[in-house]
Each structure stands twice: as structure tokens, then as C-alpha cells.
């Protein structure tokens, strides 16, 4: 009997030893168990766990999620050159992307920008950036579209005086409309049920996705248990969203493509694709990629910007002194009968600093989107094999006391020089950096400025005494739920 026990213990020891054994010359990190890896050290709150790992293991560490070794880079000085390095710019094909790609094309081939690597990524990203730039992305021609959305928002908020309001997803419809205007050249009315359903689906899909869930990590489980809730909910939202995009694209092809004066991303994409077909030229553009790209512009572009504005209202309402200082600057520079325009961007240093500070405190995308190495590499003497998942801890550069005087406060002065000019320190990277830097950064900056400055100039925001409720979220840092009292100011101001 003792021999059997000894044998069993030896086998167990080997299993545990092998599971915990890091690849040669790999960064340090938490212990890994057989099958689950370090998952119990990471969940339930990956953000807090990664911050703990950073304190314990330093600028670069590693962990194992089930069978997959990953590294996490914490030090912004180390991060910058890696983010600029093509070897660190590959992407893992996450469950959400492979599900989307299968629904679109019936195949597993990676589509779009967010979840692709190599030439597919380069071609789709390059075309999308170029055509969105031509459409005014990052320039002032997008301004009237944003102003139209703001007029609707002002109308909504000005009627709520004396009530308690949950701003929640209010900004999502406006932000989706800005993207939709560029993608397809039209907007929805804020009462349109299709817009409200769209907002709801994008939100639910992102909030319910947990990349650490074993069901997403091992999609093989789906073969045997396709009806598990984790699959069913994502499948349903994904199919509904894609069918919306398909219907709108088909409608567009029928109605607007013939109209030479119409102007949109879809038009530019279809035009270039069809011209190449007519000339018999090879083109990386096709309908599958187009649908995937539109899906990503929605997903990556709406929830991020809208949640930042939601955070902004929370931070303004809970910091009345800061709010008053911003309003004073806006009143002095813009005047009480005008609303801010993009032309004011360079003359509002405190407001600009306050927007950066909202992004710092919100820490919206704490670990970017997982990257993957495309070749073997060496970092700080560690060997990182090809195919390793790489997380970039953007959060560390936004929150560590080493970089900020009051890391836990809302303190716009963090972003002002002694002369009162706005500046951005190197460790401030809310949009990432390098090759994979956020494709929508310039649009997001314009949106954040115009929405934030207009809403603070036109209204005062006061936190009500109802309880503030923090909800758990894994992919994006969600603001708390709170009630706010909105009062009108500068009521006659116009753009
Ligand atoms: C406040 C708003 C936003 C924030 C904080 C944000 C942040 C980010 C971050 C951190 C990444 C990942 C970078 C990396 O993996 O290294 C990213 C990627 C991306 N973002 Fe944004 N984003 C915002 C708004 C937008 C908007 C408005 C759009 C488009 C309309 C957009 C489209 C994308 C796309 C397509 C990618 C993938 C880029 C690639 O893989 O090459 N984002 N964003």
C-alpha cells in the first residue's frame, strides 16, 4: 500500500511541478496550478491582482491562464519601445473575435482590425484610417455632427431640472450616432428603438464578456455544451448586432451608393473594392472585412467614449470646486451666450487638463487589448517565445503614486505645468501607444473635448445623496451608478 501511495504522490508531484514550471528564462510571477494555471490568483478582480503582481514581481512578470503562459509589462518606460516593436504587435484571436468571424464568413479566418495580425491587420487598419481621415475624422468637419448630437442632449437634460437623473447610457446614443454618421452618413433619432436596442446590445456584450472564463478559453467546450449561458448570451448579442449591420449595409448599397453626393466609410470601402474588381486588380478589401470593421468601429468607438463621459459627470458632480474652476475658465474664454467649439480647444488649459484627469482616473482600458508576440524576443534579459500573450499594464502609469501627486484624487493640476499650460507625461497612455495605438484616438479627443466642455458650460452637476453603487466589470473600467441633479446655466448659449 505504501508503494502505491508513494507512487501516487510522485505522480502528483510531477503533475504540479510541470504545471508550475515556467518556460526557460521567463519573468517571475504567481504560482501556477495544473489545468487552471494562476487563475485563482487573478480572479475575481484582474485589475487589483495585476497591481499586486506589479508590486511583488516588478516591471515585467508572468502568469498562466489555464494552459497559456502570458506576460504583463508594467513599467511605462519598458512599455513604450515594446509597443512600437512589430514583434509585440500581434493579436490573440480572442473568443469574441472568432465568434464574430465565424458568424460573418462561416469560417475561422480572422477578420477586421482589432483581432488580426500581419498583412490582414495592416491593410484593414491602413484603409480605415485613411478613409476616416478623408471623412473629417480628427478634423473640424466632424464638428456639426457632434453639435447636432449635443443640441439633442442639451434638450434632454434641460428638461430634467429639479429631478434626480441616472445619466447611465445616455451618452451612448449620441456617440454611436457620431460613428454612424461617418460610417454610413446618417443618424438615428434618440427615440428610435433600433438605436436604443443597439446601445443595449453593445453594452451587454462588452459587460458580459470575461476573457478569463474557461468556456471562452476552450471553445471546444461549446461542441459538447452549446447551450451554456456564457455562449448563448454572446451568440445572441453578436448575431443581432451583425444582422443590424448587414441590413443597414444592404439598404445602403441599394439607396445611397447610387447617389454620387453621399459621403461615408462604407461608400469609400465599396468604391475602392469595386474599382479593383473592375480593373481585375487584387485587393485586400472584401465584404467580410467591411462588416467586421464596422462592427469594431461600433464596439471600440462607442462604449469607450460614452463611458468616459459618464465618468466625467461622476467626477464633476463629486468635485464641485473643480467644476466651478472649469466653468469660470469657460465663462471667461467663451462667454455666457456661446457654447464651446473645437476652435476653443487650445485656449482652455484647465478644461483640457480636467479631461486628461478624467481619463486618468477612469483608467478605462487598463490592460489595452491583449497583444501576442510574432517572433521569439528578449526583454530585460527574459526570453519571450513567439505566440506569448502580452498584456500592457496601462493602468500602472495612470495610478502609481510614483507618477502622480494625488493618485486617488480628481486633480486636474496633474496635467498643468507651473506656467499653467496643459501637458501629458510619457506614462499617460489611455489610448495605448505605438503600432496598435487606438485607431479612434483623434476622434475620441475631439468628442471628449466638445461634449465635456459643452456640458460643463451649459449645466451644473450635483451628486444626489442616493447611494453610489460600484459594479464589477472585466474588460472596461465601468463608472459607478449614481444619481445626479442637473441645473441649467448659460441657458441662452448657442453654438
Ligand atoms: C475614450 C475613448 C477611447 C479609448 C480610451 C480607447 C482606448 C483604446 C486602447 C487602449 C486600445 C488598445 C491599444 C492596444 O492594443 O495596444 C484601442 C484600440 C482600438 N480602438 Fe480605441 N479607444 C477609444 C475610442 C475609440 C474610438 C472612438 C474608436 C473608433 C471609432 C476606436 C477604435 C479602436 C480600434 C479599431 C482599436 C484597435 C486598433 C488595432 O488593433 O490596431 N477607439 N483603443
Three-state SS sequence of the chain? CHHHHHHHHHHHHHHHHHHHCCCCCCCCCCCCECCCECHHHHCCCHHHHHHHHHHHHCCEEEEEECCEEEEEECCHHHHHHHHCCHHHCEECCCHHHHHHHHHHHCCCCCCCCCCCCHHHHHHHHHHHHHHHHHCCCCCHHHHHHHHHHHHHHHHHHHCCCCCEECCCCHHHHHHHHHHHHHHHCCCCCCCCHHHHHHHHHHHHHHHHCCCCCHHHHCCHHHHHCCCCHHHHHHHHHHHHHHHHHHHHHHHHHHHCCCCCCCCCHHHHHHHHHHHHHHCCCCCCCCHHHHHHHHHHHHHHHHHHHHHHHHHHHHHHHHCHHHHHHHHHHHHHHHCCCECCCHHHHHHCHHHHHHHHHHHHHHCCCCCCCCEECCCCEEECCEEECCCCEEEECHHHHHHCCCCCCCCCCCCHHHHECCCCCECCCCCCCCCCCHHHCCCCHHHHHHHHHHHHHHHHHHEEEEECCCCCECCCCCCCCCCCECCEEEEECCCCCEC
- Confidence at residue 66, expressed as pLDDT on a 0 to 100 scale: 85
Look at residue 24 and tell me if it is in a domain.
Answer: no
Residue 490: its pLDDT value, please?
95
Q: What is the pLDDT of residue 187?
A: 86
Give the predicted TM-score (pTM) of the model.
0.94
Binding residues, by number, are 438
Listed range (251-265, 269-283, 325-339, 431-445) with the worst mean pLDDT: 251-265
Identify the CA nearest to 367 among candidates 87, 106, 147, 61: 61
- Cα of 440 from ligand 1 centre, angstroms: 6
In a domain, 52, yes or no: no
List 165's β-bridge partners, or say none.
484
How far, in Å, from the CA of 325 to the mean position of ligand 1? 30
Classify strands 68-73 and 389-392 as parallel, antiparallel or unpaired.
parallel
Residue 45 domain flag: no
Bigger pLDDT: 429 vs 228:
429
Number of structural domains found in the chain? 1
Give domain status of residue 2, yes or no. no
Check whether 16 has a pLDDT greater than 70.
Answer: no
Classify residue 369: in a domain, yes or no. yes
Whether the pLDDT of residue 18 is over 70: the answer is no
Atom of ligand 1 nearest to the CA of 128: 35
The answer as to whether 15 is a domain residue is no
Asked if pLDDT for residue 292 goes beyond 90, the answer is: yes
With pLDDT > 70 as the criterion, what percentage of the chain qualifies?
Answer: 97
Which pLDDT band, with edges at 50, 70 and 90, does 416 fall under?
A: very high
**Among protein residues, the one whose CA lies closest to atom 35 of ligand 1:** 439
Range of lowest pLDDT (131-145, 154-168, 447-461)? 131-145
- Residue 419 covered by a domain: yes
Most confident range (mean pLDDT) of 50-64, 175-189, 320-334 is: 320-334
Which atom of ligand 1 sits closest to the CA of residue 182?
Answer: 30
> Closest residue (by CA) to atom 23 of ligand 1?
304
Q: Whose CA is nearest to atom 17 of ligand 1?
A: 438
Range of the domain at 133: 67-488
Nearest residue (CA) to ligand 1, atom 2: 305
Give the atom of ligand 1 at the shortest distance from the alpha carbon of 371: 15
171: CATH: 1.10.630.10
Pocket test for ligand 1, best of 76, 431, 438 (most atoms within 8 A of CB): 438
pLDDT at residue 320 greater than cutoff 80: yes
Nearest to 92 by CA among 313, 303, 387, 485: 387
**CA-CA-CA-CA dihedral for 349, 354, 360, 363, to nearest 10:** -130
Q: Which of 304, 394, 396 to mutate to test the pocket of ligand 1 (most atoms within 8 A of CB)?
A: 304
Q: Which residues line ligand 1 (CB under 6 A)?
A: 113-114, 125, 179, 296-297, 300-301, 304-305, 308, 364-365, 368-369, 430-432, 436, 438-440, 443-444
Cβ within 8 Å of residue 134, ≥6 positions away: 268
CA distance 345 to 455: 15
Report pLDDT digits (tens) over 175-197: 999 998 888 888 888 888 888 88
- Does 72 map to a domain? yes
364 Cα–ligand 1 center, Å: 11
Rounded to the nearest whole angstrom, what is the distance from the C-alpha of residue 441 to the centroid of ligand 1? 7
CA of 206 to the centre of ligand 1 (A): 14
How high is the pLDDT of residue 399? 95
Q: How far is the CA of 370 from the centre of ligand 1 (A)?
A: 12
The per-residue pLDDT of the chain, averaged, comes to: 90
Closest ligand 1 atom to 443 CA: 27
Amino acid at each position: 500500500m505504501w508503494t502505491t501511495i508513494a507512487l501516487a504522490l510522485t505522480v502528483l508531484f510531477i503533475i504540479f511541478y510541470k504545471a508550475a514550471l515556467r518556460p526557460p528564462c521567463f519573468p517571475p510571477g504567481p504560482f501556477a496550478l495544473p489545468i487552471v494555471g494562476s487563475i485563482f490568483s487573478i480572479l475575481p478582480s484582474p485589475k487589483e491582482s495585476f497591481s499586486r503582481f506589479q508590486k511583488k514581481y516588478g516591471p515585467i512578470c508572468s502568469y498562466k491562464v489555464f494552459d497559456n503562459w502570458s506576460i504583463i509589462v508594467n513599467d511605462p518606460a519598458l512599455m513604450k519601445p515594446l509597443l512600437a516593436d512589430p514583434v509585440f504587435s500581434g493579436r490573440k484571436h480572442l473568443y469574441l473575435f472568432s465568434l464574430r468571424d465565424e458568424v460573418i464568413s462561416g469560417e475561422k479566418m480572422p477578420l477586421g482590425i482589432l483581432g488580426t495580425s500581419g498583412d490582414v491587420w495592416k491593410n484593414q487598419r491602413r484603409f480605415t484610417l485613411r478613409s476616416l481621415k478623408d471623412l473629417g475624422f480628427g478634423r473640424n468637419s466632424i464638428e456639426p455632427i457632434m453639435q447636432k448630437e449635443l443640441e439633442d442632449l442639451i434638450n434632454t437634460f434641460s428638461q430634467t431640472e429639479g429631478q434626480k437623473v441616472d445619466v447611465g447610457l445616455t451618452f451612448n446614443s449620441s456617440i454611436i450616432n457620431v460613428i454612424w454618421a461617418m460610417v454610413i452618413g446618417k443618424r438615428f433619432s434618440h427615440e428610435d428603438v433600433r438605436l436604443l436596442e443597439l446601445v443595449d446590445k453593445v453594452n451587454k456584450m462588452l459587460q458580459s464578456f470575461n476573457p478569463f472564463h474557461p468556456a471562452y478559453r476552450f471553445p471546444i467546450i461549446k461542441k459538447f455544451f452549446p447551450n451554456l449561458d456564457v455562449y448563448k448570451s454572446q451568440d445572441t448579442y453578436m448575431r443581432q448586432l451583425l444582422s443590424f449591420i448587414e441590413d443597414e449595409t444592404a439598404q445602403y448599397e441599394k439607396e445611397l451608393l447610387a447617389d454620387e453626393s453621399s459621403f461615408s466609410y462604407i461608400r469609400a470601402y465599396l468604391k475602392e473594392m469595386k474599382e479593383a474588381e473592375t480593373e481585375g486588380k487584387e485587393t485586400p478589401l472584401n465584404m467580410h472585412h467591411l462588416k467586421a470593421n464596422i462592427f469594431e468601429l461600433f464596439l471600440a468607438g462607442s462604449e469607450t467614449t460614452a463611458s468616459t463621459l459618464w465618468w466625467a459627470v461622476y467626477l464633476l458632480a463629486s468635485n464641485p470646486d473643480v467644476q466651478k474652476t472649469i466653468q469660470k475658465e469657460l465663462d471667461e474664454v467663451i462667454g455666457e451666450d456661446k457654447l464651446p467649439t473645437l476652435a476653443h480647444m487650445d485656449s482652455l488649459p484647465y478644461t483640457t487638463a480636467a479631461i486628461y484627469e478624467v481619463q486618468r482616473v477612469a483608467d478605462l482600458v487598463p490592460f489595452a487589448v491583449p497583444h501576442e508576440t510574432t517572433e521569439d524576443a528578449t526583454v530585460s534579459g527574459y526570453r519571450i517565445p513567439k505566440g506569448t500573450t502580452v498584456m500592457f499594464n496601462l493602468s500602472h502609469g495612470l495610478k502609481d503614486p510614483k507618477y502622480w501627486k494625488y493618485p486617488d484624487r480628481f486633480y486636474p493640476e496633474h496635467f498643468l505645468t507651473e506656467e499653467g499650460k496643459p501637458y501629458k507625461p510619457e506614462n499617460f497612455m489611455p489610448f495605448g501607444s505605438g503600432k496598435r495605438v487606438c485607431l479612434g484616438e483623434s476622434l475620441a479627443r475631439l468628442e471628449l473635448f466638445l461634449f465635456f466642455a459643452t456640458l460643463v458650460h451649459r449645466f451644473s452637476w450635483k451628486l444626489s445623496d442616493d447611494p453610489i453603487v460600484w459594479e464589477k466589470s472585466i474588460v472596461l473600467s465601468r463608472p459607478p451608478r449614481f444619481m445626479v441633479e442637473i441645473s441649467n446655466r448659460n441657458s441662452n448659449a448657442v453654438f
